[in-house]
């Protein structure tokens, strides 16, 4: 079991100012902090820090928004780790975006009631687009986020186990008339690899949809990646494994 490292042995860190919003990620299996590689559940690393402990650390350094993903729920028909969501929502003031298992009206209500501020909808957007369109109109684009996980140009669903024929552009075009405002796009080939994100993909999407917030997810390896995304005028970036593996320290995030 790997221990989360907050690298204090890095060279001196200069103060910086970023317009891009850094959103730390916590992925959950059996209530524990884990990270996958390329979305493969068999390539799982579990970390010592508890989800609540990590959330409190992020809050202490000034983070405002947290990306919380129920990987158990993503493979099933409903969320499986709502107790973790409720604990973090009760013990912190973080703005929590929750994903995994939101496939019914009941699951959606349960996640909101447990303390989620935003819900990430992926599989339903592909398999039941009329339902997601209704949810967008009912709850608004400021509370529901389209989650589009891309593999070889196609959107994957059900915890990345199944690949659809949809492209991310076709999904976005389907839901913008219904009030869509935010899209989390994950390049599965980059996720957990610590080799840098798909810069061209995100630049292309943000240019094509300037009215939307395209949220970068997958592949962040160091602060240099975030600086480059900031220079490209991307607005939000999710960072997970790079923090747990000590590639990006909490102090670096605090200073930026």
In total, how many domains does the chain have? 1
60: domain range? 21-255
Residue 217 lies in a domain: yes
Give the max Cα distance, the chain. Answer: 52
Q: What is the CATH number of the domain that holds 97?
A: 3.20.20.70
In terms of pLDDT, which residue wins out, 113 or 11?
113
Residue 11 lies in a domain: no
What are the angstrom distances between the C-alpha of 15 and each of 7, 25, 217, 251, 256? 17, 23, 24, 10, 6
**70 catalytic residue (yes or no):** no
The arithmetic mean of pLDDT across residues 90-106, rounded, is: 97
Residue 2 pLDDT greater than 50, yes or no: no
Average pLDDT over residues 10-36: 83
* Catalytic site residue from 70, 110, 149, 187: 149
Is residue 162 included in any domain, yes or no? yes
What per-residue confidence (pLDDT) applies to 1?
A: 43
Q: What is the pLDDT of residue 9?
A: 41
pLDDT > 70? residue 13 = no
- Average pLDDT for the chain: 91
Q: Is 5 within a domain?
A: no
Q: Which residue has the higher pLDDT, 64 or 8?
A: 64
DSSP collapsed to 3 states, the chain: CECCCCCCCCCCCCCCCCCCEEEEEEEEECCEEEEEECCEEEEEEEECCCHHHHHHHHHHCCCCEEEEEEHHHHHCCCCCCHHHHHHHHHHCCCEEEEECCCCCHHHHHHHHHHCCCEEEECHHHHHCHHHHHHHHHHHCCCCEEEEEEEECCEEEECCCCEECCCCHHHHHHHHHHHCCCEEEEEECCCCCCCCCCCHHHHHHHHHHCCCCEEEEECCCCCHHHHHHHHHCCCCEEEECHHHHCCCCCHHHHHHC
Q: Is residue 6 part of a domain?
A: no
> Model confidence over 44-78: pLDDT tens digits?
899 989 999 999 999 999 999 999 999 999 888 89
Catalytic residue among 27, 72, 187, 191: 27
Model confidence pLDDT, tens digit, residues 127-183: 999 999 999 999 999 999 999 999 888 998 876 778 888 999 999 999 999 999 999
Residue 202 lies in a domain: yes
pLDDT for the residue 51: 98
With respect to residue 250, please indicate whether it lies within any of the assigned structural domains: yes
User: Has 191 been annotated as catalytic?
Assistant: no
Residue 25: per-residue pLDDT: 97
pLDDT band at residue 111, thresholds of 50, 70 and 90? very high
**Whether residue 123 has pLDDT greater than 60:** yes
148 part of a folded domain:
yes
């Amino acid at each position: 079991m790997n221990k989360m490292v907050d690298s204090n042995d890095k060279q001196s860190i200069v103060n910086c100012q970023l317009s891009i919003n850094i959103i730390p990620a916590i992925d959950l299996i059996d209530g524990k902090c884990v990270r996958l590689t390329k979305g493969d559940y068999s390539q799982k690393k579990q970390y010592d820090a508890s989800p609540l402990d990590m959330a409190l650390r992020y809050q202490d350094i000034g983070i405002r928004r947290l990306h919380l993903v129920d990987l158990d729920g993503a493979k099933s028909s409903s969320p499986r780790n709502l107790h973790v969501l409720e604990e973090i929502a009760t013990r912190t003031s973080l703005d929590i975006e929750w994903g995994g298992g939101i496939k019914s009206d009941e699951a959606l209500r349960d996640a909101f009631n447990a303390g989620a501020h935003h819900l990430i909808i992926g599989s339903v957007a592909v398999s039941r687009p009329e339902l997601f369109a209704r949810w967008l109109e009912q709850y608004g684009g400021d509370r529901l986020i389209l989650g589009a996980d891309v593999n070889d140009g196609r959107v994957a669903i059900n915890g990345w186990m199944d690949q659809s024929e949809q492209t991310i552009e076709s999904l976005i075009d389907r839901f913008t008339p219904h009030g869509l405002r935010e899209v989390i796009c994950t390049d599965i080939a980059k996720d957990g690899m610590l080799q840098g994100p798909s810069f061209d993909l995100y630049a292309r999407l943000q240019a094509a949809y300037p009215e939307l917030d395209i949220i970068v997810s997958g592949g962040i390896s160091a602060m240099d990646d975030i600086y480059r995304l900031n220079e490209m005028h991307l607005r939000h970036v999710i960072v997970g494994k790079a923090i747990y593996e000590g590639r990006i320290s909490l102090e670096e995030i605090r200073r930026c």
